[in-house]
Structure 1
């Protein structure tokens, strides 16, 4: 009786998620309707980079090659790299002439700052003071993100046409190795489930999120929201940025990218594990009760359906098997559009419970590492909770 009730509870959750969670499973949220502005605003592209020599040759030339009609420049902030990132960036600029490139270094982060936000602070300040007039927009993009030549033009057109203060695109992550194919599409699927894009994009919506790899931000909105200073301790900086802009009265937009891609490889499960676990517990605000609720929720939503189906079939309990099977079918069905977006086979859809179980373990490990003093570790830095900073 207990498993039957749990199976029906899981089915009820899946019916609600499918019908009432902002159609999170749809992948047709792309840049809004746009037209070229009468006058192209100026843009400063700010790229925080720490030990990015491996990916920079595939990303930085794409920024320098932007076909943008207005004034634009690229500022790469070398955040204490030890692999020659800054020197490599200058060499790439000589080999791939295009937009002007400035390489700067802010030194070690001040107390209470994460490294990326400290680098962004330095880059934004440089962009606003290097010329007689500050840029109209800031494109904040990670060092592993490659842009098609019209990416900046399309982002600015969308922002000016729709009157948006922040336009963000979820870059298409690499999904080549077997582990990437299993884990990466689910990463975006889970993100959209937590932050449905349609809810974010409503003018009067209260849901706020962005994708830190590609954020076009109106400079005036950044000043009004006090960013990045107001979010200087944030480990999940993109969501914090969107919330700060929204709270200050700015309009935000988030969707999936068509011409913006991450070139960073995560060939092994350990690489993906580290990427996800470093911020999973921060997402839960380092609260043990939220962790317990998340583990229970993941088990109910993703693990119960296959368990109920197979247990029901094995014991002849038709109702249990039926509830588990329908819930699993809804799960796989809502996952299919994301698999198609990532050009992956539909056969991966029924494996979502396995992927969710891996995410459950990563979340628990994130908490364990936090209490061992190794939480939110990235490229040689470990960040404390904001209350401890």
Structure 2
């Protein structure tokens, strides 16, 4: 009978392995696509692994607390379809990205919710509060309007998990320090309305950055093996603060987004803020955006994650008599471009953001 592996999913750009917490199935058990078959963990998230096809469990490939490389099988299913294991072990295991698994943070024991009808809150915040068991009466809104938004919801954080997350971040930072990089800054004027939160601004920033890279394709590259590789599709890792540190859902930006694309982006970002990301949105980034405009800081200097050559950052956002001004930073691999290229890119970004709003 054909066999199909369920593999350790890649839950972040830098993840190379994950820990098996436990199995929820046994050998001989029949499973359907979408059934939860195991729990795994990284320093930042715990998640449920779902079967992406139906079949019978014929092998459990690991034991609880075992570390497993990304893309390696954790379960083998006997299926009716094509034999996906054919040739799998002829060479070192490749990274396999599953598209139907759901990343979901396991939060602390829920708080018993109280009556919240008198509390001012956005519908999305009410829905998430109910899902997380958060009492909205105990949530302090960041907005001067006093209306609670999704970004105001917090979850309990395990200090040990946070410490492990910081350790992983330190490793990534050390690797980034090996890249010859620089950052340039520019004050950008916006003539039109702009989202008041990072979640609401995300789609606009993504559109504008896609336009910029399309206009300057020599900057949209990977630097690998001492050479630049030209990229076509713009896939942006959007850095978002979550309970255990920043996570980076990856969003593919089409040249001409249509329909409810903007709303879908907002939903992806809001979900990431509370620790929920689809596995399909956790790999393939070609560039990144970090928006810290919600924190009233002057600027944000971010570091590159290899092999990406560009990283856009958003700092202070202020009202002016003619609209808004924001401080944008562009970090670039010096092997790909020089400060003049980065300066021109930010000029193009200012033009693009006013065109797409």
TM-score range, shorter chain: under 0.3
TM-score normalised according to structure 2 size: 0.25
TM-score normalised according to structure 1 size: 0.23
More strand by share: 2
**Structure with bigger RCO (C-alpha 8 Å, 6+ apart):** 1
